[in-house]
Amino acid sequence: MKFRDGMWLTATDKRVEYAEDVYGITPHEDRALKLLCPTRKVFSRGDTLNLGTLSVELEAQFDGVISIEVTHFSGARRRGPDFELYPEGRPEVSPSISKSQDGTTLSSGSLSATVGPDQHAFSIRFHATDNSKELTALLNRSVGLAYSPPTTSPKQVEDMRNFEHYIFTQHELGVGESIHGLGERFGGFNKIGQSIKLWNEDGGTSSDQAYKNIPFYLSSRGYGVFIDTPDRVSLEIGSERCSRLQKSVEGQRLKWYIIYGPSGPKEVLTKYAILTGRAGKLPAWSFGLWLTTSFTTDYDEATVTHFLEGMKARQAPVEVFHFDCFWMRAFHWCDFVFSSEHFPDPKGQIARIKESGLAKKVCVWINPYLGQASPVFQEAVEKGYLVKRLNGDVWQWDLWQTGMGLVDITNPAARDWYADCLRKLFDIGVDSLKTDFGERIPSTDVRWWDDSVDPSRMHNYYAFWYNKLVYEVLQERHGEDQAVLFARAATAGTQRFPLCWGGDCESTPAAMGESIRGGLSIGLSGFTFWSCDIGGFEGNPPPWIYKRWVAFGLLCSHSRLHGSNSYRVPWLIDEADDSETTADPKQSCTAVLSKFVRLKRRLMPYLMAQAEKSRRMGWPLSLRATALEFPDDPTAWFLDRQFFVGDSLLVAPVFTESGDVEFYLPPGQWLNWWTRKATAGPKWVKEKHDFTTLPLYVRGGTILPLGKEDAEGDSFEYDWTDMPEVWMFKLQLDSQAELVDEKGATVGHWRRDEWVPSSGRKNDA
């Protein structure tokens, strides 16, 4: 939202008042500073009358983190819901307040905020406590309030019902600074120049809307900002004033945290994870290949069995099979009952799938809506489990499902009822759940069971409660470290309930690029695990797109074949029937899929160790932006067509049928996975790849544990600790790596040439 018309004029539909003065500074317990900021400069007692003031409170949160809260009318109710901050406890802090000729300084470990000494020149600088680095600042006319439509007299706000009231702040952007994150965004990787609204929408991957709006961004200058509200946030990122980043909310308060990481952006993400939470541990089986029925395809038990048998026979075994929406009857979503016409014996079928080894686990699709054709709709209405309109009617519409209602997740009884529905699925053998939708949450003409919540704040926050409920029920049944969901909607904190995928994309190279940008952005927003629809969701991918996407998708943290109205089993992509093959069988969709499934399976010792490290630290496993590994390389902050898997593997997907690809190798030594040829960076590299390879490089200094190429069995949950293969490339004094087992428990670690087993376990590797 823009409040000005260029530099000189105010927008015609707004009245804007700025914090012009710092009239008073009140310290509180060496932990906080409260600034009283009139909206005009005060030179005499008469200047204190008939004007608004803004309260600006700076508080030391923990080392390297300071919060900033701006308030106009402090008597406004503080309605929920609020983010669950510090889920594992708040760290201790030893703050200090000092005064000097430079002003009044609040320090919180490595980060300080200094309020300028001139009362009439509003200024708050954020900098390293040792003054080694300037991060950003709130300067002249950077904090303010606005009315729309514009008021001409303070008396008009006697009745606020016809006015919108906003709070905004604008912090400085440095020359060359770039901004990243803000959730799973599919547009430009660098957000400078963009206007962004943090409001969950089902808009696909080819729009400026996002399923996962996360109020956190990361700056190339070494700091991050977390905006502490699930409400709609409007950002102008160098797009209203080119030198400033503006965030605004409708209401009387705006609170955000500035997070400093002296060692780099990884430290910023770790501190953000302390604030909002880190991902749960995922089991090894979840890293294997997921295959779905696709969305609107016509399938039954025979179809499912045929596909699973075909995948196994073609050496592309499925770890998880997913039943998408039509496992239930049409118009009955979501009543949790298998269609008897298509699946007469679901419990028996699931048991047969597992006993035959065709898939290790089974997942089914759910959403938080109830179509009125389903018997459970009437039950939910009678018990008061659905969201209502202001007049007492059940809130319904015909978008997606006919007459659908929404489960009122603020009602404890409704949550318990929904959990019981899920438990019945577990009773028949379901292991995992795809928590689809959760973005289309009403924010007007709606009344929640808990009337203390603000409907606008509930819009984004619903995704958190929805996924938390499902995740905790999965943990209850299957074990704390065996819970896996596949979520589409998210907000801050939802990273605690892994995992998520990128939503509906087309079957084009442009859509693959969109998906990669989305994965990079969500990774810089605190999410460790991420997936996408291999081959694209909408449309029918041509064979070359399918194969290029397979190579990319099997190097994401999680890998799923999923489509809309067409199947994604490989032989249906480039073969007319099971007996016809492509001109070169080694380049067929089947062969390419089989090769990359086996590659990922071989990488499991590395992936599991990196997954545990990444989730503990709040880092993305894959897709990890190059800038996280090379923050001092300016080029790294603009790379949106390549990524890291963990610390040590660089991947550059191929977007052309011909196989031509250009990518960047950062400083250091790099080993080509396929040719074993070493090369030195920094430099741009051009290569040409057939469908069985893509640029995959091992970083110098790496100790890379691998599973055996000829390991028996198909499962990703195998014992790779018995004499694993270990690659060591250009080792350095600090080179080290952990070895974990298939349960994620540490077995031991390497330090350069030394193997150190964990206590109580022997290993001769």
Catalytic residues: 436, 439, 504
Look up residue 711 and give its two tokens: 């390991």
Residue with tokens 């007996």: 579
Which residues, in sequence order, are bridge partners of residue 620?
A: none
Phi-psi region of 746 (alpha: psi -120 to 50; beta: other; left: phi over 0): beta
**Three-state SS annotation for 327-340:** HECCCCCCCCCECC
Strands in 476-599 per DSSP E: 485-487, 500-501, 530-531, 533-534, 559-561
Tell me the H-state helices in 7-136.
none
Look up residue 196 and give its two tokens: 């962004």
Q: Which amino acid is at 235?
A: L
Tell me the H-state helices in 65-222.
none
Half-sphere exposure of 632 (CA within 13 A, CB side): 4
Distances (CA, A) of 359 to 288, 524, 591: 10, 33, 20
DSSP string, 555-589: TSSSEEE--SSS---THHHH-SSTT---SSGGGSH
User: What is the rounded distance in angstroms from the CA atom of residue 440 to the CA atom of residue 135?
Assistant: 37
Q: How far is CA 321 from the centre of its chain?
A: 24
- The residue among 518, 602, 611 whose CA lies nearest residue 558 is 611
Look up residue 296 and give its two tokens: 């609107």
| Radius of gyration from C-alpha coordinates of the chain | 27
User: What is the rounded distance in angstroms from the CA atom of residue 521 to the CA atom of residue 527?
Assistant: 9
Phi and psi at 220, nearest 5°, equal -70, -10
User: What is the rounded distance in angstroms from the CA atom of residue 439 to the CA atom of residue 465?
Assistant: 12
Residue 481 burial (CB count, 10 A) = 13
